[in-house]
Structures are given as structure tokens and as C-alpha cells.
Amino acid sequence: MAWVTVRRAEDGKKRYQGRYRDASGAKRTVGTFSTDKAAMQAAVRAEIALAEGTWIDPRAGRITFREYAGQVWLPSRHLEVTTYAAYASNLRIHFIPFFGDYPLARIMPAMVQEWVNQAGKPPQVAGKGRKGLSPRSIVKYHVMLHSIFARAVADRIIPFNPCAATDLPKVITTRTRTLTPDEYTQLLTQIPPRFTVMIMTAIETGLRWGELVALRPRHIDTQARTITVQDTIVEVSAKDSPTGQRMIVKPYPKDDEPRTVTVSQDLIDALTARVRHLGLGPDDLLFPSRETAAGQPLSRATFNTRYWRPAVQRSGINFNVRMHDLRHAHASWLLAGGADLMSVMERMGHAQIQTTQKYLHTLPDADRRTLTAFHTIRTQTSR
């Protein structure tokens, strides 16, 4: 039952405090008022909210974003170590610097909007030359931020989600430039010899980087001419990894199911020769950081900086080619050559066919070849 207590202020005037008991039986106050009626009404509203399950503990909202996100939200999620590391990195780099010291109850929609507006601008870091986040990245990180506040709402810490009405930047899908077979041949000649077989494997299998560097001799079937993708290696920042490890080996790749891809005899021969040359055992890495048996996983960042980007520059290719673009080229070449979508989807390890469909008509001459196919069928029909 709500009640009112009377207090006398320094000026001698009476002040009235609305009081009630929370679910645990503890006494609570809804504030101080100038009239008995206003104090009682506020206390009754608090009791009704408590009965309806919409009551919010005003003290709970004092927890800072840093404390809640790092000590409550992140530990409560059932995540793989790599996803955990990614979330921890996002908190550390994108959210804690902006929201960290603010109590959750003080973070309003306008503050979230301010973060969105500033995220796309270059940070004011002298000498760094860093760029702001792309619209696609802002939208992605906003999803995570929305999840943090949604959990706080469910925990009865704040009454509403300040991310609910954010005006997000428009994500414009641009047509990607796909590496052609001639450009690939041109690029391959510039790759250091120690990585030639690795690049050949990447273009012929379409493996993701983590799947590629996790390959071992036991994954190769020389008789069936197949490579089975069973593991993946993910590189994370040691400071964000829950295990403290920078290279994390995960059984099975992204879709949680091993897959087998058929390859050419030429690639099988090249891989077999590499295994013999390095004296690799069944469980050694095929493409380690150093050309020795029992080598450590190859770092993507190190490979890109020291070997891949210099090779692209030397090749004379006039657009930015990432190592991951070999995977895109693999899918595009398969579809351009007449492979059906379902086969390519399974080979690529895509969970949804819509992902595979985006590789249709990505080669520069795709439209011309499509028109040629149309006229071929039309001519046959008119005969």
C-alpha cells in the first residue's frame, strides 16, 4: 500500500514524499512533492507498474554502459570464441570510447544518433589517416548496439531501447569488379614461389582464408582428387580473445559442416609435391608461416602486407584485388562456365542460395555472353 511521509524543508515549508514497497519488500520513494496528493499519486503509479511488471528500478540505470556491456551482456551470451572476440573488439574500439562512462539511463536516442553521425567521419587521430566507418559497417554495428540495450530493457534496467528509432545511413550496393582468368594468370606470376601452390588452391577451391590456411595433408584424397574442408583458423586480437590465443583453430568451417570439393589432377600433383618437399606429416599445416614441418598458422595480416599487396601492385592490375576476391572469382567463373547454382552453393559452403546468386553476371563480358546465348537459342527456334 502506498503512503506519504511529511518532511519540513529549510524554508519551513512542508514537503511530501511518496513511498511504496518493491517486490522484495524494501521501502522505496518516488521523490519529493509540494502536495500530499501529488506524492500519493506518484507512489500509486509506481505500485501499479510493479503489479503490471513494467516497473523499472531507478537505481539500476546508474550502471555504466562499460560495466553492463562488459560484465553482464557479453558474458551472458553463448558465443564461439571467435564471435566473442569480435564482439569484445567492437566494444573496445567502437562503443566504449563513446558510451562507456555514461549510465545506461542517461543514454537517449539523440546520443545514439550522434554516435551514428560521427561514426562515418574520420576520427581525429593525428598522423593515423584513418577513415570513418562505411554505411554498411555502421548498420552492422548498430545491430549489436541495439542488442545490448534490448537486453537492458529485458533486465528492467531501462524503460526503452534508445536504438529503436535511429536514422541509419543508406547502404548502397555497388557492383563489384571480378578478377578475370587473364588477370589471375598475370597476378600469379608475381606471387612469391613459396605461396604459388596456396594461391592455386585458393582459386580452384574457393576456400575462405581460414579454411585455406587450416588445410593439412590428411585432408587431401589423391585417388578421388578431392580436398575436404574440416577445420578453419581464425585470427583475432589476443586482447579480445577469451583464451588469450591469437590463432584459434575451430573444427569445421563457417557453416559447421565439413564439405568436399573436387580439384584437378594438376593441383593434386602440386600439393603432393609440396608435401614431399617440406616433409609434412598428415597433421602438419600445408601452408604454414614458415616453410617447415610443424609450422605455425600463416597470419592473414602478415601475408597481405608483405606478399599479396606488393604482388598486386607489380602485376599492373588497375583495381584493388583482395585475397578474398579469389573466392569471388572462383564462384563467378563456375557460374559463367555453366555450373548450376545448387552445385556452386554446396562447393562454396554457402548457407543460403541468395549468397551464391550475387556471383551471377559478375565478369566484365557477362552481358555480351548472355546476349550471344539469347541469339543462339532464338536462331535455333526460327529454323
- Identify whether residues 122 and 188 lie together within a single domain: no
% pLDDT > 70, the chain: 87
pLDDT confidence bin for 177, thresholds 50/70/90:
confident
Q: How many domains does the chain have?
A: 3
Is a pLDDT exceeding 90 seen at residue 358? Answer: no
- Domain assignment of residue 19, given as a range: 3-55
pLDDT confidence bin for 184, thresholds 50/70/90:
very high
Cα-flanking dihedrals φ and ψ of residue 257, to 5°? -135, 130
Among the candidates 18, 33, 55, a domain finishes at 55
Is a pLDDT exceeding 80 seen at residue 192? Answer: yes
Of 124-133, 159-168, 270-279, least confident by mean pLDDT is 124-133
| Beta carbons within 10 angstroms of residue 208's beta carbon | 18
- Identify whether residues 235 and 125 lie together within a single domain: no
For range 60-87, the mean pLDDT:
87
Helices 109-119 and 135-154, axial angle in degrees (round to 10): 160
- Identify whether residues 305 and 358 lie together within a single domain: yes
CA distances from 66 to 107, 126, 237, 260, 365 (A): 12, 26, 19, 44, 52
For range 102-125, the mean pLDDT:
88
- Identify whether residues 69 and 36 lie together within a single domain: no
One-letter amino acid at 136 equals R
Is a pLDDT exceeding 90 seen at residue 287? Answer: yes
CATH number, domain containing residue 145? 1.10.150.130
User: In terms of DSSP bridges, do strands 27-33 and 220-221 run parallel, antiparallel, or are they unpaired?
Assistant: unpaired
Residue 345 counted as domain residue? yes
Separation of alpha carbons 157 and 68, rounded Å: 10
- Identify whether residues 189 and 50 lie together within a single domain: no
- Identify whether residues 143 and 14 lie together within a single domain: no
Question: Which single residue is written with the C-alpha cell 556491456?
Answer: 69
Residue 284 counted as domain residue? yes
Residue 66 counted as domain residue? yes
pTM: 0.71
- Identify whether residues 187 and 136 lie together within a single domain: no
For range 193-206, the mean pLDDT:
95
- Identify whether residues 138 and 250 lie together within a single domain: no
Which pLDDT value is given to residue 126? 41
CATH number, domain containing residue 358? 1.10.443.10
- Identify whether residues 85 and 213 lie together within a single domain: no
Which pLDDT value is given to residue 178? 87
- Identify whether residues 327 and 252 lie together within a single domain: yes
3-36 tens-digit pLDDT: 888 888 777 788 888 888 877 777 878 778 888 8
Residue 335 counted as domain residue? yes
CATH number, domain containing residue 16? 3.30.730
Is a pLDDT exceeding 50 seen at residue 355? Answer: yes
Which pLDDT value is given to residue 381? 52
- Identify whether residues 199 and 332 lie together within a single domain: yes
- Identify whether residues 51 and 66 lie together within a single domain: no
What value does the mean pLDDT of the chain take? 85
Which pLDDT value is given to residue 336? 82
